[in-house]
Each structure stands twice: as structure tokens, then as C-alpha cells.
Structure 1
């Protein structure tokens, strides 16, 4: 009987530990990514430059390109610089904006990309998606998954706690994204990928149940692994479905209607909690998930109400009402319930009572 299987693209190496950046040259050589350090280091201003100097002893032949990342224009600028020389790999060092810029530029010119994260603010560190601004709007662009992922906990620990909290919100929101995907499968027959679901849900559950805190290396490792597995889940199924549901629609709506409200991860965490509350109204078994998710977010200091984000209930109602328009092709609990403005006002008020 023939064995049927599929090939899944994953990074050759994943390193999550303290001191990982200083050993970057050794890792690239050991994994046959770059034996001679012929790489382009793409760094952000400030911290990125300091990190580049830290790993330079093992990458003496590297070129360093400093960028103010996060835009399609900056990614194109990096791409033009990559044409000047043959590189073994592009190494993006820094936060999500720098890494996404490097991912897009490397993909454009068919060069392997190494993701070196100094913060854990979102799942972009290992995803096949680059979020970049263009003409005042943020778009998502398909890119190659990183050939290696490095997370140095020394830098994560030294960074702002707000960035780590954002990563927690982004990782936990996968629970809602998967539930929305399963809903679309039941209601509309949308194809579902069991492996992608397993990766996204299991990693988020591990974080949900972890007793540690932001100062705990074991917890930070679990967070890094959850974000990485969320990225791999997207690579497995070829879309953002296992990591983006009604939670992300709400976040995109807030970005559109009230730009600068909060970080992507914080908004997604709140969106996931609200969507789980809505789901519990038609699936009583989801009440336990809502309670556990709310308790976890409270323990880590994540915003759970519109007021925690600095916006009014009225503003949040408007964002939830607008949310389905941000992803017209996606079916989530928001599209399923299709609540009108008056009903949303009632549900948001009930939600605030349930959280408190």
C-alpha cells in the first residue's frame, strides 16, 4: 500500500535562548546557510545596529543595511541594494517591521532569509507573510518562510514589556482564528487543514495554560515557540486562516477607524476575547474557553475592554460593525451572527459586565 504524504516547508534551524545572536555566524555555517558569512544584515536604527556589531565577529564578510522598515518602499530599497552582490542569505535583525522588510526584499530576489528577532510582538518572525504599509494603508504580502529563526531572550527581556504583551495577544488570538475556521468549515464547507489547525491551536493552548510570567525564561520560550508555530501553521495551509479570524478583522477595523489605538497584538487579543464571548452565546461549551482566556489576559496585563484600549464602547461597536468589510472573503463569528448596530451595543455592554 503506498504511503501518501506531503512536504512541508519549515526553517532549517530554530534557536530560542539567551546569547543566540552572538553565535549567529556559527549557526549559519553549521546549517550550510553561509559558510563564509557572505550575508546581508538588514537592521533597524539603534538597537539593530548594536545587534549587528555583536554578531559581526562571526560574519566578517557581511554587509549591513540600516533601514527604517515597515513600508513597501523601504523593502524595495533594500532589494535594490541586494542586487549589487551575490549573498548567501538576507538576515533581518530587529522587530517585526525590520523582519518583514527583509522577508519581502529577500523573496523578491530569491535569496534565503534568516529571521533574528529581538522582540516577541507578533507571529511575523516565522510567517510566510510580510505586513507593509503602502500609500497610507497596511497590506499583507506573501513571502518565503524564513530558512532559520533565531530569538535571543536577552534582547526580549531587555525590551519593553508592552511588546511582549502584544505577542501574547497575537498568539492567544489563534484560538479564536481556529474556531472561526472550523465554523466556516461547518457552515460553508470551507476546506480546513488539520495540521495547520493542530499547530495553531496546540501552541496557543500551551501559552494559555502556562503559569509563568513575562520575567520567566520558560514562559518567554513558550511564547516564542507559540509565535513560531503560528507562522508555520500559515505556511502549512498557504494562508493566514489559522492565525486570523474575527479577532484580526476587529484589529484591522480599529486601524482603519482609529489608527494608533494600540498595538496589533493587543487589539487582536481583545478581538479574540470579544469573539469568544459572542461564540459562547451559541456554543455554551465556549464559556469555559472565554473564562480561561480572560483570566490569562488579565494575568499578563493585556487590555480586555475598549476602555483598556483608551476608546469608548461606541467606538468599539463601530469597529466591530466595520470589521467584516476588512476581509470580505473571510467567514467568522462576526459574519455568522451578522449583528446590527443596536444588537452590538447590547452585546458590548454585556461583554463588559462578563469581563469584570
Structure 2
């Protein structure tokens, strides 16, 4: 009888602890990623010099590559610079924009990528997706997931609290994304992958009612675990479906329509997830998500994001065009303008206090 199995690419190492950055050389050697120290280290042009000073003595033979992260042009330029050397791996040190640029560049030159996260704002720290600004606004690019992840809790505690809390909104939004995926299966025949859905749902539910907050090491470890599980969910599915539905369409629309007001991705998708649940008439999920977001100081309604109700309504109307082919509650309802305005106003009234 044949044994049927599925091979799932997963990180060789996930190191989450205080002082993890000081073990970077050991982590790379133990995972057989690099024992020679022949590495390309990618950092943001604004990286704290104290952080660089902690890493440089461990890897004296490494080459440093500053990058103005977050754009497709910057990522392509980084790839071109990497081609000039010979490296075992590329190590990205920074937040989401730097890591997304590094993942994309490493994929172009065929090198494994190690993510050293300096904040926990979104699931890009372990996902097979790079979100980069391009000439059309913003695009999602499939890339190999990081081969290893290093999270130093001392570094995370030094990051702006808002950039850590945002990761909570990113993870909780999985519940809305999964509801959209199930809708897409029922109506549009887009099959749900059960294993992927299990990873994404477990990630969200592990934080939903968890006591504590970002001041607690145990909560930070749980947040990292959830972000990793979200990344694995997308890797298993081969698509961002398990973690990206109407909530992410709305966030991308806000970024494209109001770049001068761009908020943190995790904050925006959290609001989008509550609103999408409200549109589904799933008030239990909407209220549960809203309660959890508020407990961690995250926004729930548009004014708390710094945008007006009218701007949010415009973003919801534009949202489906950000992900052609993605079927969510927004595509399903296809509200005419008057009904959409009414739905947004009712949402703000219901959850604004």
C-alpha cells in the first residue's frame, strides 16, 4: 500500500529568545546555512547603528548592503548588487519593507534568505510573499519563504510598540480571510486546503483570547509563533488565500488611494477584518475581533485609523480591483454605491464606541 504524503517547505531554524541576535553565527552554522561567514547582510538605510554593531563582529567577512526597502525597483537593484559577489545566503535585518525587498532579491539570484526581524508588524517575516510598491501602486510577488527566522526579544522590546501591536491585527485577520476562502469555495469553486486553513486558524485563535500583551515575553513568543504559522499556511496553500481576503483588499486600496495617509498594514487589515465580518452578518466574529483589537490598543473603525468614513467607503469600493480573481465578501455582495455607504455608516455606528 503506497504511503501518500505532502512535503511542506519550512524554516530550518526559528530562534525566538532574548539575545538571539548574539547567536546569529551559531544559528547559521547549526542549520548548515553558512559556516564560512560568506554572507550578504541587507539592512535598511535607516538601521540603528547599535544593531549593526552587534552583528558586525560576529561576521567580519560579510558584505553589507543598505537598501531603501519597500519598492520593486529597490529590490531589483539589490539583486543586481548581490550578483557581484559569491555568498552562502542573504540575511535581511529589519522590518517588513526590508525583509520583503531581501526575499525578492534573494529569489532573483537563487540564494536562501534568513530573516532577522526587528519588529513583528506583519506575517512577512515567514511568508512566501513579498509586498512591494511598483509603478502601478503595490504588488504581491511569490518568493521562497525564509530558510530561517531569528527574533531577538530584546530588539523587539526596543521597537515602537505600534509596530509590534500591528502584528496582532495581521494574525487575527486570518479569521476573516478564511471565511472569504470558504465563500470562494462554495460560490466560485476555489477549493480550500484543509491543512493550510488549520495553520491559519490556529494562528489566529491562539491570540484571540490570550492573556497578556506585548510587554510580556510569553505573549511576544506566541505572536511570533502565530506569524510563522501564518507563513506556513500560505506556503502549504501556494497562495495567500488563508491569510488574505477582503481585509487585505481594503488595506491595499487604502494604500493606493491615500498614500499620504498610509497606516500600518496590520492595523488596516484588522479594521478590514471586523468590517468584512460585519458584512457577512457574522456579528459574533466581528464583536470578538473588535474586543481583542481594542484590548491591545488597535483601531476598529476608520476614524481610529486617521481616515474619514467617506475615505473608507471609497477604499471598500475600490478594493476588489486590487486582487483580480480573488473572491471575497466584497465581490459577492457587489454593493451599489448607496448600499455601500449605508453599510459603512451602520458599521461605524455599531463599532465606533
- 1:339 corresponds, among 335, 342, 346, to 335
Aligned-pair distance for 1:182? Answer: 0.7
Q: Kindly indicate whether the alpha-carbon contact (under 8 Å) linking 1:48 and 1:93 is maintained by their aligned counterparts in 2.
A: no
- CA displacement at 1:136 relative to structure 2: 6.0
Q: Is the 8 A contact 2:250 2:319 kept in 1?
A: yes
Q: Report the secondary structure of 2:35's partner residue.
A: coil
Trace 1:8-157 onto structure 2 (pairs within 5 A).
Answer: 8-47=8-47, 49-135=49-135, 137-157=137-157
1:310 aligns with 306
Paired residues for 1:277-356 under 5 Å: 277-279=278-280, 281=281, 286-355=282-351, 356=353
Q: Which residue of 2 aligns with 1:265?
A: 266
> Could you report, residue by residue, the CA deviation over 1:244-289 in whole angstroms, capped at 9, with x for unpaired residues?
100011111111222234111111110001001111x2xxxx3222
Does the Cα contact within 8 Å between 2:178 and 2:201 map onto a contact in 1?
A: yes
Shift of 1:221: 1.2
SS in 2 for 1:47: coil
Aligned mates of 1:308, 1:197 — CA distance in 2: 30
> TM-score under structure 1 normalisation?
0.95
Give the TM-score, by structure 2 length. 0.96
Deviations 1:93-142 (A, max 9, x none): 01111111111111111111101000001111111111112226221111
Q: Which runs of 5+ in 2 are unaligned?
A: none
Q: 2:128 & 2:48 partners in 1: Cα distance?
A: 22
SS in 2 for 1:352: helix
Task: Pick closer, same or farther for the CA change 1:79–1:49 going to 2, 3 Å.
Answer: farther
Q: How far did 1:200 drift?
A: 0.7
What value does the CA root-mean-square deviation take over the aligned residues? Answer: 1.4
Any conservation in 2 of the 1:52–1:64 contact (CA below 8 Å)? no
**Mean Cα displacement is larger for which, 320-329 or 129-138?**
129-138
C-alpha distance in 1, partners of 2:146/2:16?
15
Q: Contact 1:176/1:247 (CA < 8 Å) preserved in 2?
A: yes
Alignment coverage as a number of residue pairs: 351
Distance 2:198 2:307 in 1: 35
Q: Deviations over 1:321-354 (max 9, x none)?
A: 1111211201111111221221122222221232
Structure 1 regions of 5+ residues with no counterpart?
none
Question: 2:255: which partner in 1?
Answer: 255
- C-alpha distance 161-136 of structure 1, shift in aligned 2 (>3 A): farther
